[in-house]
């Protein structure tokens, strides 16, 4: 049976949803802050993974926030920092997600959230976004103490869901994640919501590319 592994941050969940809260705190620096925060958050996961010095995703997010505060010369209070970290637990789903999930659920497709996030944080986030009822389960990297795109993580997904590798598909808007899955012989779909964003010029290429999450039903139904 086809089994889908959905990346969470940037695929199901819109990390730019923090911008509204940032606007109230840092004003016209909000968009730049949001973009840099996400960039550094991912960079820190890669660094910790390569160093074999695991710090969980919440630590990466907090350290990236503190970097942005200094880099963009924004004096945040501890209350501001707490508010922004809490906002990361209530980020919205992308507008195209619910239609896609409902169609796939009705077709009997097995669907998992597959994320760098901590299990408790993912549960809160996915519940708030009303995504949990569509999912068969959630697979976090946390038990393996490293991050995507380490090959160990994709094997962890296959082992956790109990499906044959050739029936497992990663669905992600993050190119590095797609490359990681393809490199371990999983199939992978890249969601290119922004046409100005190009895929990496690597030997690993998406099995399929779509421009909206809702178009998954055209592939699997």
Q: At which of 58, 87, 116 does a domain end?
A: 87
Q: Are residues 140 and 102 in the same domain?
A: yes
pLDDT per residue over 130-156, tens digit each? 999 999 999 999 999 999 999 999 999
Q: At which of 55, 70, 87 does a domain end?
A: 87
Catalytic: which of 7, 14, 56, 177? 7
Give the Cα separation of 136 and 169 in Å (integer). 14
| Residue 209, pLDDT above cutoff 90 | yes
Q: Are residues 41 and 139 in the same domain?
A: no
| Residue 1, pLDDT above cutoff 90 | no
Question: Order of strands across the sheet with 208-210?
Answer: 137-140, 110-115, 3-6, 168-172, 187-191, 208-210
10 Å Cβ neighbour count for 164?
10
Sign of CA dihedral 73, 20, 84, 10: negative
Q: Are residues 106 and 82 in the same domain?
A: no
Domain span including residue 45? 15-87
Give the Cα separation of 123 and 78 in Å (integer). 25
| Residue 36, pLDDT above cutoff 90 | yes
Sign of CA dihedral 55, 58, 62, 65: positive
State the CATH number of the domain containing residue 213.
3.40.50.1000
Q: Specify the pLDDT at position 30.
A: 98
Q: Are residues 70 and 149 in the same domain?
A: no
10 Å Cβ neighbour count for 60?
21
Q: Are residues 26 and 102 in the same domain?
A: no
* Residues 71-109 as b or e (16 or more Cβ within 10 Å = b): eeebebeeebeeebeeebbebbbbebbbebbebbeeeeb
State the CATH number of the domain containing residue 51.
1.10.150.240
Instruction: Using a pLDDT cut of 90, give the percent of the chain over it.
Output: 100
Name residue, tokens 């990466």. 60
| Residue 64, pLDDT above cutoff 90 | yes
Clarify whether 7 is annotated catalytic: yes
Q: Specify the pLDDT at position 178.
A: 98
Q: Are residues 10 and 37 in the same domain?
A: no
Q: Are residues 78 and 105 in the same domain?
A: no
Helix (H) or strand (E) holding 7: none
By CB atoms closer than 10 A (0-12, 13-18, 19+), residue 192 is middle
Q: Are residues 173 and 99 in the same domain?
A: yes
Q: Are residues 208 and 128 in the same domain?
A: yes
């Amino acid at each position: 049976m086809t089994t889908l592994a959905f990346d969470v941050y940037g695929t199901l969940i819109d990390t730019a949803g923090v911008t509204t809260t940032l606007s109230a705190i840092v004003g016209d620096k909000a968009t730049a802050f949001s973009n840099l925060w996400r960039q550094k958050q991912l960079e820190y996961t890669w660094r910790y993974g390569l160093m074999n010095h695991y710090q969980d995703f919440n630590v990466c997010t907090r350290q990236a926030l503190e970097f942005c505060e200094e880099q963009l010369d924004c004096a945040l209070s501890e209350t501001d920092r707490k508010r922004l970290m809490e906002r990361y637990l209530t980020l919205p789903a992308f507008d195209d997600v619910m239609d896609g999930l409902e169609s796939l659920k009705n077709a009997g497709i097995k669907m998992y959230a597959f994320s760098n996030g901590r299990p408790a944080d993912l549960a809160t986030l996915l519940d708030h976004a009303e995504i949990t009822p569509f999912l068969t389960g959630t697979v976090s990297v946390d038990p393996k103490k490293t991050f995507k795109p380490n090959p160990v993580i994709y094997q962890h997904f296959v082992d956790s869901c109990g499906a044959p590798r050739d029936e497992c598909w990663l669905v992600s808007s993050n190119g590095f994640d797609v490359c990681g899955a393809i490199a371990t012989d999983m199939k992978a779909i890249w969601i290119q919501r922004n046409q100005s964003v190009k895929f990496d010029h690597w030997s690993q290429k998406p099995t399929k590319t779509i421009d909206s999450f809702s178009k998954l039903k055209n592939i699997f139904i």
